[in-house]
Amino acid sequence: MTQATATAAARPARVPGGRRRRPGSRHSLTGFLFTLPFMALFLAMFIAPLVYALYLSLFREQLVGGNTFVGFDNYSEGLKDEQFIDGIQRIALFMVVQVPVMLFLALVFALILDAGTVLFARLFRVGFFVPYAVPTVIAALMWGFLYGKDFGPFADVADWLNVPPPNFLGEDLMLWSIANVVTWTYTGYNMIILYAALRAIPAELYEAAAVDGAGPVRTAIHIKLPLLRPALLLCSIFSVIGSFQLFAEPQIFYDIAPDVIGKAYTPNLYVYNLAFADQRLNYAAALSFLLGFVVFVVSYAVMYSSRRQEARR
């Protein structure tokens, strides 16, 4: 609509026999100059270390014997590394359960807040968002205390009820205890994004729906949800990438339950320990790239499936 007319105006008038001046080239140069500071920092702080890591991953430095070029040996070792593969499988399971649950909660909260029938809506908005403002390390420490088998509040309640307390930080429940902390932290964040997207929906659509006799639930399902699709996709991608990078919570829980977490609970933790405890920087660099590749594939799959759903409508 409005976009189409804009592009039409920008197309240059053909000057017969004359030189065709590229439209807006001066604009593109000034635009580029504005982005130059960002570009410089981006290159220095992001791209350069990435290239250096790539370079490192092709070598192997030994404690005795120095640096040698090993080509793709580190990568092939990584593909066979059981601990690395276990970590990825664990994180995939984590993602498949935690991301939908969290997004569903965020969506429900956002819809409820948007319905406008909640008292103190602003208070709830801030309240849901506060966990995201708590630094991850503090949150993990706090939840570590809450989960405590002997002296945490759940244990006290269980004591009072005379049942053995659930071992939140034991082998079976550890992953879901971490999922709980992550959900607690990020539901508010995703809710704010979805709420902002909901606020951007033009009110005429609601009026038209009301005229057609749609109640609040049908409005939510048939009007709000479809228009939320881009925001939901954004949240999904962020959550998928974030869950693959899970590090802070396992690292903090290591002190409380080192037997369950070990050195390789998540791929990121494994890479960290390889680099700093085992001093195998080259192998760690190779694994980081492998992990990055996995994240890339999964994110692409998510985006592709959503695009296919769009096309089908």
Site residues, other proteins (CB under 8 A): 7, 10, 22, 24-25, 28, 32, 39, 43-44, 47-52, 54-56, 61-67, 144-145, 148-151, 171, 255-260, 262-263, 273, 276-281
Q: Is the dihedral of CA 259, 261, 263, 265 positive or negative?
A: positive
Which of residues 204 and 259 has its CB atom nearest to other proteins in the complex?
259
Which of residues 28 and 89 has its CB atom nearest to other proteins in the complex?
28
Which of residues 9 and 119 has its CB atom nearest to other proteins in the complex?
9
The gap from C-alpha 274 to its chain's centroid, in whole angstroms, comes to 24
Residues 270 and 84 sit within 8 Å (Cβ to Cβ): yes
CB of 161 to other proteins, least distance (A): 17
CB of 50 to other proteins, least distance (A): 7
Q: Which residues pair with 69 in a beta bridge?
A: 59
Q: How many CB atoms lie within 10 A of CB 178?
A: 25
Cα distance between residue 313 and residue 311, in whole Å: 6
Which of residues 264 and 290 has its CB atom nearest to other proteins in the complex?
264
Looking at residue 117, the DSSP 8-state letter turns out to be -
CB of 139 to other proteins, least distance (A): 16
CB of 256 to other proteins, least distance (A): 5
Which of residues 6 and 203 has its CB atom nearest to other proteins in the complex?
6
Which of residues 154 and 238 has its CB atom nearest to other proteins in the complex?
154
Q: How many CB atoms lie within 10 A of CB 286?
A: 30
CB of 46 to other proteins, least distance (A): 10
Question: CA dihedral defined by 305, 306, 307, 311, rounded to 10 degrees?
Answer: 100
The gap from C-alpha 256 to its chain's centroid, in whole angstroms, comes to 26
Contacts by residues 199-205 (CB-CB < 8 Å, ≥ 24 positions apart): 199/114, 201/227
Which of residues 57 and 190 has its CB atom nearest to other proteins in the complex?
57
CB of 131 to other proteins, least distance (A): 21
Cα distance between residue 165 and residue 155, in whole Å: 5
CB of 49 to other proteins, least distance (A): 7
